[in-house]
């Protein structure tokens, strides 16, 4: 398989892929300008667009994501499962624990902290089916929460990461999204079609990242206001926080994956596990463990029905704000998380890779959601509306109001703010490294200037979307950019299958040649032994058609 030709050249002192870089810049500038100029009407516009897209194309998101789950499981347990990313002799560059830490930090991070309480309480108060505020509504709330944060989300990441890792490490192509389409596009991937694919990936990544950063900064501001009431939680504070944390992320992104990102990811996991254990110990321990078992079993038992339900017989558009939004969010994050996971997964077999990406983070996400979400639901069912009222008033405060119900609430709130900020930085620098890779033609060592530029650009997009409509604008941007990329991922499944099929055929052919060579060597040794016993010289072997010995003569 040939290598993709380089389209990079120096522009503004940076080594970039010109068409992808400038197309992405143009789209961002136009989008930012429109939001700032029409700020007053932006929120209404975003709301109308979100309803239009989700009501007409929600079925496509739901069908696509289920196909991604099926495809990932197929490649893991098929003849492709033994293929090693990087070749037979490749070894993992990171320990399994460090690998899991980076997976979890990049793949979920801020979102888990923001939605772990807010989502179950929302579903409990306004369930898609049945009566609100009942035990049945609580069980349903956890079912849908698990659906949104479970196998489907990680299957999207696994698909993109596997495709990029395979074509990069096994086919020596650049680490860009276009490389995953080489089997059926061939050399055209370095032409206009390839530029369009990578540009869409850049745009999807930036808006998906901006959504997470927007949610994160709202929660950091809410936490600071909760611990230090003198700090006002308003848009000005949020913009200042974006500037400060983006600056920290810029420093981290300059150091690269091996240092900054890895260290931050590992510390994020340590802090997250500390908070999780604290909630388990200080909260209703037995209830949390029992709920975890029941929630997981209910998720498995209702998996098919939950996965394919799309309100076909309902006039509501509940899924437009929840399931479809989540699938679009994960899809828009897929280039970002996929490239990042691909960078840290060399040396693992496809089966090990897929099962590792699907199962370990999913189970940890479920435990986190149970510890926070089920405990909050327990309080609501007992008649304590404190947490539910906080969610209704401002979802970004829910985590810190939850901590108030536990001992050492101030300490937990401060640690919670640090964790949100840590996930913010990790998401920002990981996303920036991915956008750098896409806009530099997959250059493994892009310039520091390009890293800094995209780290700052990501913060700017988050700030503008917050100014132009808050959470509504963030959700709409994700859904709009996720739609075309969902189609790209469907094509990626086909392309990856072709690539894996070629690899498996090559390994089979090589294996047969090695078996034949080993057989010839074994026959030669047996004939030599027979010759020694008979006291004669070693007979000359025909290379292509060795004569098997008679076992009775030995």
Residue 336 makes CB contacts below 8 A (sequence gap 6+) with 106, 205, 208, 209, 430, 431, 434, 435
| Helix, strand or coil, per DSSP, at residue 17 | strand
pLDDT at 374: 97
Averaged pLDDT for residues 183-187:
88
CB atoms within 10 A of CB 87: 12
The per-residue pLDDT for range 309-319, each reduced to its tens digit, is 988 888 788 88
Of 192-206, 344-358, 503-517, the poorest mean pLDDT is in 503-517
- The residue among 92 and 315 whose pLDDT is bigger is 92
Of 52-66, 372-386, 496-510, 520-534, the poorest mean pLDDT is in 520-534
Position 98 scores a pLDDT of 82
CA of residue 463 relative to chain centroid, distance: 22
- The pLDDT value recorded for residue 554 is 41
DSSP string, 287-334: HHHHHHHHHHHHHHHTHHHHHH---TT-S--HHHHTHHHHHHHHHHHH
Instruction: Tell me the pLDDT band of 125, cut-offs 50, 70 and 90.
Output: very high
pLDDT at 9 over 90: no
Neighbours of 516 (CB within 10 A): 12
Q: Under 8 Å CB-to-CB from 383, ≥6 apart: which residues?
A: none
Mean pLDDT over 185-199 rounds to 90
pLDDT band at 1 (very low <50, low <70, confident <90, very high): low
Reduce the secondary structure of 61-79 to three states and give it as a string: HHHHHHHHHHHHHHHHHCC
487-531 per-position pLDDT tens digit:
999 999 999 999 999 998 887 776 666 666 766 777 677 777 777
Could you tell me if 332 and 204 are in contact, meaning their C-beta atoms sit under 8 angstroms apart? Answer: yes
For the ranges 94-108, 412-426, 503-517, 532-546, the maximum mean pLDDT occurs at 412-426
pTM here is: 0.84
Report the percentage of the chain scoring pLDDT > 70: 87
Predicted confidence at residue 103, as pLDDT, reads: 80
Q: What is the pLDDT of residues 467-487, one digit of tens each?
A: 766 656 666 777 787 888 899
Residue 38: Cβ within 10 Å count: 12
* Domains of the chain as residue ranges with CATH: 8-519 (1.20.1740)
- At 16 the three-state DSSP class reads strand
Mean pLDDT of 175-194: 90
pLDDT more than 90, % of the chain: 42
- In this structure, of 146-155, 174-183, 211-220, the range with the lowest mean pLDDT score is 211-220
pLDDT given for residue 350 in this prediction: 96
Which residues 6+ apart lie within 8 Å of 250 measured at CB?
A: 429, 432, 451, 452, 455, 456
CA distance 400 to 382: 20
Rounded Cα distance between 512 and 47, Å, is: 60
Q: Which H or E run includes 346? A: none
Q: What are φ and ψ of residue 349, in 5° steps?
A: -70, 160
Inform me whether the pLDDT recorded for 21 exceeds 70.
Answer: yes
Q: Please give the C-alpha separations between residue 225 and each of 102, 127, 349, 413, 470, in angstroms, as whole numbers.
A: 30, 30, 47, 11, 18
- Which residues are registered as beta bridge partners of 15? 10
The answer, yes or no, to whether residue 42 has pLDDT greater than 60, is yes
Q: Which of 379, 367, 364 is nearest to 284 (CA)?
A: 379
Residue 446: predicted pLDDT: 76
CA dihedral 474, 479, 481, 485 (to 10 degrees): 140
pLDDT, position 552: 47
Flag the least confident range among 23-32, 321-330, 426-435: 426-435
Neighbours of 510 (CB within 10 A): 11
The pLDDT assigned to 551 comes to 44
pLDDT > 50? residue 541: no
Q: What is the pLDDT of residue 511?
A: 63
């Amino acid at each position: 398989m040939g290598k993709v030709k380089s389209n990079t050249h120096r522009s503004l002192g940076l080594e970039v892929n010109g068409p992808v870089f400038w197309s992405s810049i143009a789209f961002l500038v136009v989008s930012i300008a429109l939001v700032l100029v029409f700020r007053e009407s932006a929120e209404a516009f975003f709301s109308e667009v979100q309803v239009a897209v989700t009501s007409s194309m929600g079925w496509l998101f739901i069908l696509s994501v289920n196909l991604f789950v099926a495809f990932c499981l197929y490649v893991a347990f098929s003849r492709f499962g033994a293929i090693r990313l990087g070749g037979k002799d490749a070894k993992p560059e990171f320990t399994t624990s460090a690998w899991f830490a980076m997976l979890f930090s990049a793949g979920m991070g801020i979102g888990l902290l923001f939605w772990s309480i807010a989502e179950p309480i929302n579903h409990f108060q306004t369930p898609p089916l049945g009566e609100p505020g009942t035990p049945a509504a609580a069980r349903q709330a956890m079912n849908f929460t698990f659906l949104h944060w479970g196998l489907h989300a990680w299957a999207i990441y696994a698909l993109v990461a596997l495709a990029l890792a395979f074509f990069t490490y096994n086919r020596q192509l650049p680490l860009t999204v276009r490389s995953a389409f080489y089997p059926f596009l061939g050399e055209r991937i370095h032409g206009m079609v390839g530029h369009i694919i990578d540009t869409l990936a850049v745009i999807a990544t930036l808006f998906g990242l901006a959504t997470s950063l927007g949610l994160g900064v709202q929660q950091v501001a809410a936490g600071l206001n909760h611990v230090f009431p003198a700090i006002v939680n308003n848009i000005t504070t949020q913009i200042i926080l974006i500037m400060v944390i983006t600056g920290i992320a810029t420093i981290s992104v300059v150091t690269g994956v091996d240092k900054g990102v890895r260290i931050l990811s590992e510390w994020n996991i340590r802090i997250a596990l500390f908070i999780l254990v604290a909630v388990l110990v200080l909260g209703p321990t037995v209830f949390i463990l029992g709920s975890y078992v029941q929630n997981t079993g209910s998720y498995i038992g209702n998996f098919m029905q939950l996965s394919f339900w799309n309100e076909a017989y309902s006039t509501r558009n509940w899924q437009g704000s929840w399931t479809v939004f989540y699938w679009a969010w994960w899809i828009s994050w897929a280039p970002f998380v996929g490239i990042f996971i691909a960078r840290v997964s060399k040396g693992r077999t496809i089966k090990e890779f897929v099962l590792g990406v699907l199962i370990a983070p999913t189970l940890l996400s479920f435990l986190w959601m149970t510890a926070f979400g089920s405990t909050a639901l327990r309080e609501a069912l007992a008649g304590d509306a404190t947490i539910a009222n906080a969610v209704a008033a401002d979802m970004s405060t829910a985590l810190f109001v939850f901590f108030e119900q536990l001992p050492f609430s101030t300490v937990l709130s401060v640690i919670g703010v640090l964790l949100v900020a840590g996930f913010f930085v990790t998401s920002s620098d990981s996303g920036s490294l991915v956008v750098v890779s896409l806009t530099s033609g997959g250059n493994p060592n892009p310039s520091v200037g390009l890293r800094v530029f995209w780290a700052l650009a990501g913060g700017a997009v988050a700030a503008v979307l917050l100014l132009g409509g808050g959470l509504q604008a963030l959700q709409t941007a994700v859904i709009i950019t996720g739609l075309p990329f969902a189609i790209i991922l469907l094509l990626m499944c086909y392309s990856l299958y072709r690539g894996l099929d070629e690899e498996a055929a090559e390994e089979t052919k090589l294996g047969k040649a090695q078996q034949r060579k080993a057989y010839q060597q074994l026959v030669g040794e047996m004939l030599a032994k027979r010759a020694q016993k008979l006291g004669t010289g070693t007979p000359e072997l025909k290379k292509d058609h060795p004569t098997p010995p008679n076992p009775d003569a030995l």
